[in-house]
Amino acid sequence: MRARLAIYQSKQAVALRDVVLTNKPADMLIASPKGTVPILLLPSGEVIDESLDIMLWALHQSDPNNLLRPTTVNSHVAESEPAATQADMLSLIEHFDQQFKIALEAYKCAKRYHETNLQECRQACEVFIQNLELRLSQHSYLMDNQESVADIALLPFIRQFAKVERQWYLQSPYPNLKRWLNQYLQSAMFTKVMAKHPLWSAEQPVLIFGDV
């Protein structure tokens, strides 16, 4: 999802091949033997098979919305507010990729298998959620008042968190996080990115994806 978000935001066009991991096409395994998605195959033959790396590739090609910030002061941010740098954003993303994802998977499993530690797993996730709620109480997006790559990189994880215990989430004390998430879920970008497509086969026409 987040690879598609970045490609959409970068206004790049890619040929999209939807697959199911229970029936991996041979072409997919030839391109990336580890057999995970997403996979981006460039015209040069280079393969990028990590979602964050695909995001960074897309936005380095084109970044019309300034999602990757320069290391210098962002002119769109008030002088009294510290500017968010690309290093700051990547640090936040890394923190969630390496730690929140583990807590989130445990939370999802506790719910799915009706384990007795569901509340403990949720509270482990809430440590991270509270961090985001604090950030969003100070500005409109995770880093400042402008959308950044951190927002779209973390969006899929927060969406998953919100779905685990839907009723609990709706009553949870995170109004700013809920506002932020709803803004994305109701956007045209989200609708486009989450659209269902036929599973890829060699016989079907090329499907182009991207906001071009």
What does the angle CA 140 – CA 53 – CA 184 come to, to the nearest 5 degrees?
30
- Helices then strands (H, E): number in the chain? 10, 4
pLDDT in tens, 161-181: 999 999 999 999 999 999 999
Contacts of 34 (CB under 8 A, 6+ apart): 49
pLDDT score of 73: 45
pTM: 0.92
Position 160 confidence tier, pLDDT thresholds 50, 70, 90: very high
pLDDT in tens, 57-99: 999 999 999 999 865 444 444 444 557 899 999 999 999 999 9
Residue 36: pLDDT over 50: yes
Tokens 């041979």 belong to 26
Contacts of 163 (CB under 8 A, 6+ apart): 169
The token pair that represents 198 in the structure block: 């036929």
Spatial separation of the C-alpha atoms in residues 129 and 158, rounded to whole Å: 8
pLDDT score of 66: 94
| β-pair partners for 47 | 41
Spatial separation of the C-alpha atoms in residues 59 and 40, rounded to whole Å: 14
The token pair that represents 168 in the structure block: 């609990």
Percent helix / strand / coil, the chain, rounded to 5? 55, 5, 40
DSSP secondary structure, 33-55, as one string: TT--S--EE-TTS-EE-SHHHHH
Domains of the chain: 2-70+88-193 (1.20.1050.10)
What does the angle CA 10 – CA 191 – CA 21 come to, to the nearest 5 degrees?
85
pLDDT score of 128: 98
SS3 (DSSP) at 195: coil
